[in-house]
Amino acid sequence: MSALFACEDPATWRSVYGKYWEVVEAKAKRKKPGKLLNLDKWYQEELPTLISSRPDKHVTLSELVKLMEWKLTRGKFRPRLQQLAASNSEDTVEKCSRKAFSLLPDVQAAIAELSALKGVGPATASAVLAAGAPEQTAFMSDEAMESVPGLKPIQYTAKHYALYLDRMVERTEKLNKVDPQQDWTPHRLELCLWAMTTAEQQQLPLLKDVDVKADSVAEKCSDADQRPAKKLKTR
């Protein structure tokens, strides 16, 4: 587990954030060349612009299917989920996602609305919301969840997402209090935690300098309240 989450120094977080695309590129080389990088560029840069350009924020069916492809390429591959997502109708996806964004800042209500779509659980729903409302939500990635103390064993439920988001929002607020730039969002924290954890898991040398800074807070990151693992639900 990464010690980064307990770090209160915004400069350390920013140094990790600055390495994000290098980690994506390094991981992409170990998978299908270019696929992860192209999908991640689309999710992080193009999709937010598309969603924000609409009078009423929503996603289309093709965007939901591509987002699912991004999620499964970036994390654990579950092919059945992509087939299920593609089986939704265009009208249903647009109506459901439009209502979900309108429910914000009630994130749990928005998650519930999106979870009514076929193939969409809390994790995928959080990815949709993070693309359109990064200041309020964060993607429920395995890597970020594993980095937050007290959340193991990971469960792909709305209740577990609420615990995760509360911790992410709390850390975001603390970083913005001490960082003059005050540009931290829960979504940006997820990018940092994903990059840190991925670099550690794949033994990438990119963030070795950051590890030294994070070691001093490692003791704060113990999972003292771990419980026996339960059966994981569909994400």
Q: Mind listing the pLDDT tens digit for each residue in 108-153?
A: 999 999 999 999 999 999 999 999 999 999 999 999 999 999 998 9
Which pair of structure tokens corresponds to residue 187? 């979504």
Q: 235: pLDDT confidence band, cut at 50, 70 and 90?
A: low
Q: At what angle do helices 61-74 and 90-103 cross, to 10 degrees?
A: 70
Mean pLDDT of 77-82: 82
What is the C-alpha to C-alpha distance for residues 145 and 154, in angstroms, rounded to an integer?
7
Residue type, 93: V
Mean pLDDT of 160-186: 96
pLDDT at 103 over 60: yes
pLDDT value, residue 233: 43
What single-letter DSSP state applies at residue 233?
A: P
pLDDT at 207 over 50: yes
The set of residues, in sequence order, having a beta carbon less than 8 Å from that of 53 and lying 6+ positions away, is none
Residues 22-38: pLDDT tens digits?
999 988 887 666 789 99
pLDDT value, residue 116: 97
pLDDT value, residue 31: 66
pTM of the shown model: 0.87
pLDDT at 21 over 90: yes
Which pair of structure tokens corresponds to residue 176? 């913005």
pLDDT value, residue 234: 46
Cis omega (within 30 of 0) for bond into 105: yes
pLDDT value, residue 227: 36
Residues 176-187: pLDDT tens digits?
999 999 999 999
Does residue 101 come out as left (phi exceeding 0), alpha (psi in the -120 to 50 range) or beta?
alpha
Measured in degrees and rounded to the nearest 5, phi and psi for residue 11 equal -65, -35
CB-neighbour burial class of residue 205 (10 A; exposed 0-12, middle 13-18, buried 19+): exposed
What is the C-alpha to C-alpha distance for residues 213 and 49, in angstroms, rounded to an integer?
34
Mean pLDDT of 164-187: 96
